[in-house]
Structures are given as C-alpha cells and as structure tokens.
Amino acid sequence: MAYGLVLLRCAPMVLSAASVNFSYNQYLFLQPYLDLAKQSETSGEPTGETGDTAYKGIARSQVNVMLAPYIHQQFPSGFAAILALYPTAWVAAGLNLAAGRSAAPALPRASRYFYAAGLVFSIGHMLWGPQAKDLMERLGRLGKYSSRPTTDKSDDGKSKDDEDSKDNKDNVALLGQWLRLHTTRSLVADVPGWLCFTAAFVLSHRFV
C-alpha cells in the first residue's frame, strides 16, 4: 500500500485521537477549579496555613474571580483548536469513503462502515456546540468585570456591570454546567468516533 494511502487511512484516527486528548486536557485543567470551590464549602475561609492545606480554604468567590480571566484568555485558542481538528477529520474521513472503491487496494466494506460511523460521531460532537460555546462566552465576558471597580450607574442606581452579569454571576456554577456537558459529549461522541476510526484503519490493513 502506498505511503500516501496509508496516511489517508490513518488520518481520521490520528485527528480524532488528538480531539479526545484535547477533550481530556480540558477536563484535567478545569475540574480543579470546581474541586477548590467544593473544598471551600466544607473547610471555610482561608486560614493562612502553608503546604497542601493552604488551598483547602479558598473561598468560592475567589474561585469565581480566578476563573473569569482564565477562560477569557483560554477560550479563543481552544475554540481555534476545535475548528482545526474536527473539520480536518471530517474531510479525511470523507476522502476515504469517496476513494474507497477506486483506490488500490479497495477499502473493505467493514472499514467503510466504520469510517462512516466515525464521521457521524465526530459531527455529532457539534450538537452540543451552541450550548457549550454560550457557556464559555458567558464565563469569558465575566472576565471583563471581575478585576476592576465599577463606577457607571444606571438610572436605578445599579452598576451596569451588575446588570450585564445578572444571568451569569456564578462562574463556578457555569463551569459545572459546561464540564457536565463536556463529559457527556466526550463519552457519547468523541470516544466512539475515535474507536470507529481506529477500527476502520485496522480493518483497511487486515484484508490487504
């Protein structure tokens, strides 16, 4: 089998593996914020202790402040990675399906089924896209308000920043919603898609 064809066959598997790894890293780096907030609910305010126990008293309000600017900076690059990985995997899977019959050797039927299934799962990731993007954008908008004093007042005397953030004032709660959504789509769409693309690649070589 020509090297170019091997590269085409394995591209969806490699790209979907990168997507799964990216999804896990998102969970790995964001879940600790929730853990800190939960610890503060049981251990109280910071006590000034040193060592590992010093972090157990970080208040939920402090986690809110830390979260906002982090998401504000991180989300654009993360979103760009998603736009690069997933559509590229779709194109690679589509090329395998389109060239499957004419390529030499021809793509086995079982392999074509798995490429098609992997493509469906990968596209299915985007079903959660609008809600996930909205949650992240709300977290990012809060980054503009959490670290500076507010001076502008509306006609009723309330801060304009307070009005803007009424619906998304609790960053910890928003992150919890996003992580639950993220975990669901990773297990329902990303992991099955990667497994299907892996099976498709293995089967494309097994019958050569």
Over residues 1-50, the pLDDT tens digits come to 577 888 999 999 999 999 999 999 999 999 999 988 887 666 555 544 44
Share of the chain above pLDDT 70, in %: 73
Q: Give the integer Cα–Cα distance in Å for 132 and 125.
A: 11
Of the candidates 174, 171, 147, 172, the residue with the CA atom closest to the CA atom of residue 161 = 147
145 neighbors 84 (Cβ within 8 angstroms):
no
Q: Give the integer Cα–Cα distance in Å for 178 and 30.
A: 10
pLDDT of residue 207 exceeding 60, the answer is no
Q: Give the integer Cα–Cα distance in Å for 58 and 39.
A: 8
Dump pLDDT digits (tens) for 131-179. Answer: 999 999 998 875 444 434 344 454 555 544 454 444 446 899 999 999 9
Q: Give the integer Cα–Cα distance in Å for 136 and 197.
A: 29
* Total Cβ atoms within 10 A of residue 178: 22
